[in-house]
Amino acid sequence: MLPQEAIRAKRDGRPLPPDAIRELVSGIADGRLSDAQVGALAMAIYLQGMDDAETVALTEATRDSGEVLDWTGLDLPGPVLDKHSTGGVGDLVSLVLGPWVAACGGHVPMISGRGLGHTGGTLDKLEAIPGYSVTPDTATFRRLVKDAGVAIIGQTGSLAPADKRLYAVRDVTATVESLPLIVASILGKKLACGLDALVMDVKVGSGAFMPTPAASRELAEAIATVASRAGTPTTALLTDMSQPLAPCAGNAVEVREALAVLTGERRGGRLLEVTRTLAAEMLLAGGLAADRDAAFARLDERLASGAAAERFARMVAGLGGPSDLLERADAHLPAAPVVREVRAARAGHLGAIDTRAVGMAVVELGGGRRHPADAIDPAVGLTDIAELGAAIAAGQPLARIHARREADAERAEARLHDALTLSDAPCPAPPLIQDTIRREAP
């Protein structure tokens, strides 16, 4: 089918057969489709949607548009597993989960991204570690996945190249919010990593990527269904993002928080609970535990023994970072020169958090990007963010700002006062784990 005829069919609401979708995606990857045709196709899909069969075909074609990693030659002793999050504020799960699952016998080739809008990026956090390379050569990546069990890096040019071009066109044609295109974009890259199973963390709340709880659920259902039909068993969790997941947001500050969890300095909290639940799902999906109780027991033992922290240290050193990061974090991680507390004007309970606004406060401090080419200041951010429902005394700190300049801290303080709402009556936080959706491969 000629590209223009396939675009016409989708424009008119007719389903596209798998071979037509494969040809379109191939043309996107190798340049045979012009930018005008790619934009027209994206708009047709945005307006008319795709059924499950079309979305599966689009995902598989995106996955197959470049290299699909094959781990069979490495004789790995455990399953190849991964997790993906739709993003949030204070969401440093990947930094803890990857080495934790590796310490339990999994192999985690995690392809991560940079910050987008108010959401933080795993690569930006890792680049706060001096020397850490998110673009290693393929041999180093494969060696670490085998020997350390985990390597967290950025997308290479050979993985799902069709997605890179299609996303760039979507970004300037107002078609980013199309569910089939979102699903194919996320899964095309993830499934190109040759996974045995995938776990998705789909956020719900004021800091979520999707605008409503219903939209988040629809995305979770679609990802689990499409990935499983494409051959990868997938579990999707709906988790709360009505407040920052960790009590901090930034880059170096989140690396410090990850180290606190991995070394046992931080023994509770929302971050640990979500990470532990996602990790248990990965162990179950990979056949590394017989049931949830066994999965949790194995995870707890591997964290308490220091094995998970040791895997993180091996990954960091293997990707060019310092070999003594665990022991001398403050000697390596940058710190901001200005620290200011945001104090409550009155007593009450923390009744609501505009999590998106909290994330944007970090962006304005320099910890995120307004434009793709912006440089990031890894030292700035927020720590000691109060939790929803907490009883607050007048003058009590609601958060601590880490800034480069006093003027930046003043602006962030004003934004945070607007983002953190006190109420007279207690306001319990929403459930942290709101639902779990499991799909097996056919």
Please list the active-site residues.
82-85, 122, 170, 185, 189-190
User: Are 431 and 204 within 8 A, CB to CB?
Assistant: no
Q: How far apart are CA 374 and CA 150, in angstroms?
A: 29
In 265-414, the DSSP E strands lie at 338-343, 348-353, 381-383, 391-392, 397-403
User: Are 100 and 213 within 8 A, CB to CB?
Assistant: no
Q: What are residue 82's DSSP bridge partners?
A: 198
Query: Distance of CA 284 to CAs 232, 301, 438, 441, Å?
Result: 14, 16, 11, 15
User: Are 250 and 121 within 8 A, CB to CB?
Assistant: no
Token pair of 61, please?
Answer: 């074609």
Neighbours of 277 (CB within 10 A): 20
Q: What are residue 194's DSSP bridge partners?
A: none
Q: What is the DSSP letter of 116?
A: B
Angle formed by the axes of helices 270-285 and 292-304, nearest 10°: 120
Q: How far apart are CA 241 and CA 218, in angstroms?
A: 16
Closest CA to 188 of 84, 300, 310: 84
The sign of the torsion formed by the CA atoms of 283, 285, 288, 293 equals positive
Closest CA to 269 of 244, 300, 305: 244
Coil vs helix vs strand at 433:
strand
Token pair of 248, please?
Answer: 């901090």
Q: What is the DSSP letter of 242?
A: S
Q: How far is CA 29 from the centre of its chain?
A: 25
User: Are 381 and 251 within 8 A, CB to CB?
Assistant: yes
- The radius of gyration computed from the CA coordinates of the chain, to the nearest angstrom, equals 22
